[in-house]
C-alpha cells in the first residue's frame, strides 16, 4: 500500500510536468465522550469533471436547499429550528458545540498527529520556516548522553581508545621490541588503561514557543465560522509544533463578553455560548497571564485570535490599548477574521478599527491580519497562515 509521503512526493512531481497539484490535506476528528477527540490527518482529492452546479438560482433569499421529510403537519408548519445567533445579552448556557468537536483521546495523540501535519505543511505546502526563533529567550534543559570518557570504570568500554592506551603503556614499558611483529599475548594491561564512556549531563539550549489561541465563542460564531477558525488554528499549532521541534506550549482562551481560559484544545474547539462579543477581554486576559506568570522572559510568545469580526466595542478603543500593550513582548499577533457569507462586501467592525487605527502598518512586522470567508477551503486557509506568519 502506498503511503502518504509517497503520494505527496508524486504530487510534487506534477508541478514539474506543468500540472497543478491535486492532493490536499483533510482532517477527520474522531469523536468520543468527555470532550476529548483525536484528529486524524488524511489526504483528499477531487476528480474534476464537467458536472452540473448544485446551486439553486431560483432560491428565494434566505432559503436553503429543500429535501425530503416525513411526519405529521400541515404545509407551512415549522418542524424544527436551529439557532443562528441567540438573543444578545441573554445569559448563555455553556455546552458542547455541534460538529465534530467533541471527542476522546489522549493529548499525546493529538500532538503526534499535529506534528505530522506541521511537517506536511512545512515541507509540502511550503509554509516558511522560522528564520529567527528568538535567541534571547532560550530554555536550558539537560539531556543525558554517553559522551564523557573515564578511565578505570564506566558504562561502555571504548575499545579503540583502550587499545591505544595499552599500546602506549607497553611502548613506555619497552614491551614492544619490534613494531613489525607484535605479540599481543605479551601485552601488559593496567586497569587505568581501560577507557570507558560514561553517561553525562549535557546542557541543551533550545528556543521554546508559547502560543495563545484566542477564539470568539459568542452566539454569532455558530457553524462554519468556528470550523474555519479552528481549522486555521489547528494548522498554525501544527506548524509551530514542527518549527519548534515540539517545544511548544499552548494556552487556550475563549471569549464572549468575558474571557476565560480553558484547559485543552477540545474544550477550545467545541464550546459555544450564547453571548455578546467583547474582543478586548481576551487580549486583556493574555496580558494578565503573561505578566502574572512572567512568561515574556522565557518564551517566544505567539497570539492568534479568531473571530467573525463582530465587536460591541465598535471603535476598538479598549481592544487597541490591549494590543499595543501586547506588542511590547510578543513575537507575533495574528488575527483571523472569518466573515459570514451574508456580510457581503461590508467590512466587519474588528477589521475596520484595526485598519483605521493604523496599528497594522505601524507594527507590520508583529501584527498581521487575515480576512477570509467562512467557506474558505484548505488551500485558502493555508494561504492565510502564510500571511499570518510571514
Partner 1 sequence: MELVNQHVKGIMEECKLRAMDHGLKFDDETLEYIVTNRDMIELSPKVMIPTLYDYWVHDVRVISGKGMYEAYPSNPYETVINTRPAISFYNDNNPDWLNVMIFYHVLAHIDFFQNNLFYKNTWDIDLTGQALSDKRLIAKLRSEKGRWLDYTIEFARGIDNIVGYHKELNLHLLTESKQRLNRTDFYFDIFLQKIKNVSHNEYLKEITRYNENLNTKEDFFSLVISKYPEFEELYRRELLIKHKSDLDIMEYIIRNSPFLKEDENEWMKSVIQIVRNTSIYFQPQIRTKIMNEGWASYWHDYLFMRDNRICGHEVDYAKVNAGVTSMPKVGLNPYALGMRLFQHIKDMEDRGCYSFDYFLLKDQIGKKKFDQNKNTGAEYILKIRENFNDFTFINSFIDQDFVTEHNLFVAGKRFNNARMSIEYYIQSKKSEDYKKMIVDTLYHPPEISVDISRTKNGILYLNHKFENKPLKVDFIENTMIGIEYLWGGPVHLETSEPALAGKTATNYANFWDPSSQQTEEKKPEPIRWKRMLYIMENRKLHKREL
Residue 91 CA to residue 208 CA, distance in Å, equals 39
**Given the complex with partner 1, which of 10 and 164 has the nearer CB atom?**
10
User: Least distance (Å) from partner 1 to the CB of residue 47?
Assistant: 6
Residue 299 near residue 260, CB atoms below 8 Å: no
**Given the complex with partner 1, which of 54 and 132 has the nearer CB atom?**
54
Query: Contact with partner 1 (CB under 8 A): which of 33, 58, 292, 361?
Result: 58
Between residue 8 and residue 37, which ones bind partner 1 under the rule CB under 8 A? 10, 13, 17-20, 23, 26, 28-31
CB neighbour class for 34 (10 Å; exposed up to 12, middle 13-18, buried from 19):
exposed
User: Least distance (Å) from partner 1 to the CB of residue 62?
Assistant: 4
**Given the complex with partner 1, which of 66 and 181 has the nearer CB atom?**
66
Query: Contact with partner 1 (CB under 8 A): which of 5, 12, 15, 45?
Result: 45
Taking Cα atoms as reference points, which of 205, 208, 290 lies closest to residue 241?
Answer: 208
Between residue 70 and residue 109, which ones bind partner 1 under the rule CB under 8 A? 70-87
Residues 6+ apart with CB under 8 A from 42: 25, 26, 27, 28
Segment near partner 1 (CB under 8 A); pick from 4-12, 123-131, 157-165, 182-190 = 4-12
User: Least distance (Å) from partner 1 to the CB of residue 119?
Assistant: 16
Residue 384 near residue 371, CB atoms below 8 Å: no
Query: Contact with partner 1 (CB under 8 A): which of 12, 34, 44, 264?
Result: 44
User: Least distance (Å) from partner 1 to the CB of residue 167?
Assistant: 57
**Given the complex with partner 1, which of 69 and 174 has the nearer CB atom?**
69
CB neighbour class for 279 (10 Å; exposed up to 12, middle 13-18, buried from 19):
buried
User: Least distance (Å) from partner 1 to the CB of residue 197?
Assistant: 43
Site for partner 1 contains 230 (CB under 8 A):
no
* DSSP three-state, residue 225: helix
Site for partner 1 contains 66 (CB under 8 A):
yes
Between residue 285 and residue 344, which ones bind partner 1 under the rule CB under 8 A? 310, 340-344
- Main-chain dihedrals φ then ψ at residue 138, nearest 5 degrees: -130, 160
User: Least distance (Å) from partner 1 to the CB of residue 366?
Assistant: 30
Residues 6+ apart with CB under 8 A from 113: 38, 39, 40, 41
User: What does the per-residue mask of binding to partner 1 show for 103-142, with x meaning CB under 8 A?
Assistant: ----------------------------------------
Residues 6+ apart with CB under 8 A from 250: 210, 211, 212, 213, 237, 265
Residues 6+ apart with CB under 8 A from 193: 151, 162, 165, 166, 169
Amino acid at each position: 500500500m502506498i503511503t502518504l509521503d509517497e503520494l505527496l512526493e508524486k504530487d510534487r512531481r506534477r508541478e514539474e510536468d506543468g500540472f497543478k497539484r491535486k492532493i490536499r490535506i483533510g482532517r477527520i476528528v474522531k469523536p468520543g465522550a468527555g470532550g476529548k477527540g483525536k484528529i486524524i490527518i488524511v489526504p483528499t482529492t477531487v476528480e474534476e469533471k464537467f458536472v452540473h452546479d448544485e446551486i439553486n438560482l431560483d432560491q428565494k433569499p434566505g432559503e436553503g436547499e429543500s429535501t425530503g421529510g416525513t411526519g405529521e403537519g400541515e404545509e407551512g408548519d415549522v418542524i424544527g429550528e436551529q439557532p443562528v445567533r441567540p438573543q444578545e445579552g441573554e445569559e448563555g448556557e455553556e455546552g458542547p458545540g455541534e460538529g465534530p468537536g467533541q471527542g476522546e483521546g489522549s493529548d499525546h495523540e493529538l500532538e503526534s498527529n499535529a506534528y505530522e501535519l506541521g511537517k506536511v505543511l512545512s515541507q509540502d505546502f511550503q509554509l516558511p520556516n522560522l528564520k529567527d526563533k528568538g535567541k534571547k529567550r532560550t530554555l536550558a534543559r539537560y539531556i543525558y548522553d554517553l559522551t564523557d570518557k573515564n578511565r578505570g570504570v564506566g558504562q561502555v568500554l571504548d575499545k579503540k581508545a583502550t587499545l591505544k592506551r595499552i599500546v602506549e603503556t607497553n611502548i613506555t614499558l619497552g614491551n614492544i621490541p619490534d613494531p613489525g611483529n607484535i605479540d599481543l599475548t605479551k601485552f601488559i594491561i593496567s586497569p587505568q588503561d581501560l577507557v570507558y564512556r560514561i553517561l553525562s549531563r549535557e546542557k541543551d539550549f533550545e528556543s521554546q514557543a508559547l502560543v495563545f489561541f484566542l477564539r470568539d465563542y459568542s452566539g454569532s460564531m455558530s457553524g462554519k465560522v468556528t470550523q474555519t477558525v479552528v481549522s486555521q488554528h489547528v494548522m498554525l499549532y501544527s506548524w509551530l509544533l514542527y518549527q519548534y521541534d515540539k517545544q511548544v506550549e499552548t494556552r487556550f482562551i475563549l471569549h464572549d463578553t468575558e474571557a476565560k481560559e480553558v484547559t485543552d484544545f477540545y474544550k477550545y474547539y467545541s464550546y459555544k455560548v450564547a453571548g455578546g462579543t467583547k474582543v478586548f477581554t481576551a487580549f486583556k486576559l493574555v496580558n494578565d497571564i503573561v505578566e502574572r506568570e512572567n512568561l515574556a522572559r522565557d518564551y517566544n510568545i505567539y497570539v492568534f485570535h479568531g473571530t467573525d469580526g463582530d465587536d460591541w466595542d465598535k471603535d476598538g478603543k479598549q481592544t487597541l490599548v490591549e494590543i499595543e500593550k501586547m506588542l511590547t513582548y510578543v513575537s507575533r499577533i495574528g488575527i483571523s477574521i472569518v466573515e459570514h457569507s451574508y456580510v457581503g462586501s461590508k467590512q466587519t467592525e474588528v477589521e475596520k478599527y484595526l485598519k483605521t487605527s493604523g496599528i497594522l502598518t505601524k507594527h507590520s512586522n508583529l501584527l498581521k491580519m487575515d480576512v477570509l470567508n467562512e467557506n474558505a477551503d484548505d488551500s485558502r486557509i493555508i494561504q492565510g497562515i502564510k500571511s499570518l506568519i510571514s
